[in-house]
Amino acid sequence: MLFLNSFSPLLSFLPIVLVVFSFWLIARKKQDKQRNISRKDDVWYVVKEYLKLTDRQGYRLADLSLYPRPKTIASLREYVDTTRRTLQEENSRLLGLPKEKKPWKVKLTPDFVRRKNLSFPKEEEYHKKLELTTLEVISEKLSDFQLYLQAYNSLKDQKEFQELLKQFFICEAIPKISKRRSLLLRSRYLVCFRTISRSGTLSEWEAIEIELFKNPKKRGKEKYKILFTAAVDYRKELHWIYSMQLRYFKDKIEARKNSEKHKANYIRRQKVRAFFGHLIFENCMVKMIRRLRNPPKPKEVKPA
């Protein structure tokens, strides 16, 4: 008793603490949800503005997928390697070829050594040119990114920097040779989408590039801004996003199946409830009618 009495002041505040914590947790979840919705709405807003520029007002989105651009050559090579492996597997599946049963053996070359030796010159050159093009676009609109372009223009003729560009992106190579090591890596995203016209026609897949950057106005409500930087050829991007797009399609089909399954289960449950409800109602009504037609006889009271 003495032990409990010593903690009685703390116990009295415990319900208040629990209530406050519950409100804080609910507000935190709501804020995170609103932040995700806002980010999704921002991407849709950029796509909508792009549709306006291409004279397609009133079009609806049928599909939308978002992929961060590889920030390093190493990650790009892994994406391309994964895509080529996925393509081989899908071609074998479509042709009905049996899976090759590889005999168990010790790998002489580990995966990290194999990945280190990967090289895709054509794909890498495509990404480097696009990186420079979008850098020129965004540097005209944001002064912070002019540092990237100034550093690149001052280093592009140096042999050491040219050798680095054979193995790295511009954002990787600049800090390795320049004193400006505080340059931040860019946040570039590829947006893939399909639209439905006013007449109900489904378009082919399209792709644009957007860039995420910190809001220059520190007191603004939004910490980040999204800027459209380029319209790109969707087919030329498949060399590194194919496996992710395939996963997107599979997840979409699975979600549709689950939705149809839940809908069918819901209809079945409603029918069962209606059947039993109707059955119970009928039984109750039958009993009530019988009682009205044949009321129970009053019990005879025997004289004492």
Q: Crossing angle, helix 73-94 and helix 121-141, to 10 degrees?
A: 130
Quick check: 242 and 205 in contact, CB under 8 A?
A: no
Return phi, psi of residue 240, to 5°. Answer: -125, -10
Mean pLDDT for the stretch of residues 134-155: 87
Domain assignment present for 27: no
| pLDDT, tens only, 254-294 | 888 888 887 878 788 877 777 666 667 666 766 666 676 67
- pLDDT exceeding 70 applies to what percent of the chain? 67
Quick check: 200 and 177 in contact, CB under 8 A?
A: no
Q: How far is CA 63 from CA 139, 209, 252, 256, in A?
A: 31, 16, 10, 13
Could you tell me which residues come within 8 angstroms of residue 85 by beta carbon, excluding any fewer than 6 positions away? 243
Domain ranges, residue 194: 37-96+106-253
pLDDT band (50, 70, 90) for residue 2: very low
How many other C-beta atoms are found inside a 10 Å radius of the C-beta of residue 50?
Answer: 17
Mean pLDDT for the stretch of residues 150-157: 89
Could you please report the per-residue DSSP string of 166-226? TTS-HHHHHHHHSS-TTPPPPEEEEEEEEEE-TT-PBPPPEEEEEEEEE-S-TTSS-SEEE
Structure tokens at 19: 């209530």
Q: What is the pLDDT of residue 181?
A: 59
pLDDT band (50, 70, 90) for residue 200: very high
Asked if pLDDT for residue 68 goes beyond 90, the answer is: yes
Domain assignment present for 17: no
Domain assignment present for 1: no
Domain assignment present for 297: no
Domain assignment present for 165: yes
Q: What is the pLDDT of residue 46?
A: 86
pTM value?
0.70
| pLDDT, tens only, 32-60 | 544 443 455 678 888 888 999 899 988 99
Domain assignment present for 5: no
| Number of domains observed in the structure of the chain | 1
Domain assignment present for 148: yes
| pLDDT, tens only, 224-265 | 788 899 999 999 999 999 999 999 988 888 888 888 887 878
Tell me what the pLDDT averaged over the chain comes to.
78
Measured between alpha carbons, how far is 246 from 253 in angstroms, rounded to an integer? 11
Asked if pLDDT for residue 13 goes beyond 50, the answer is: no
Domain assignment present for 131: yes
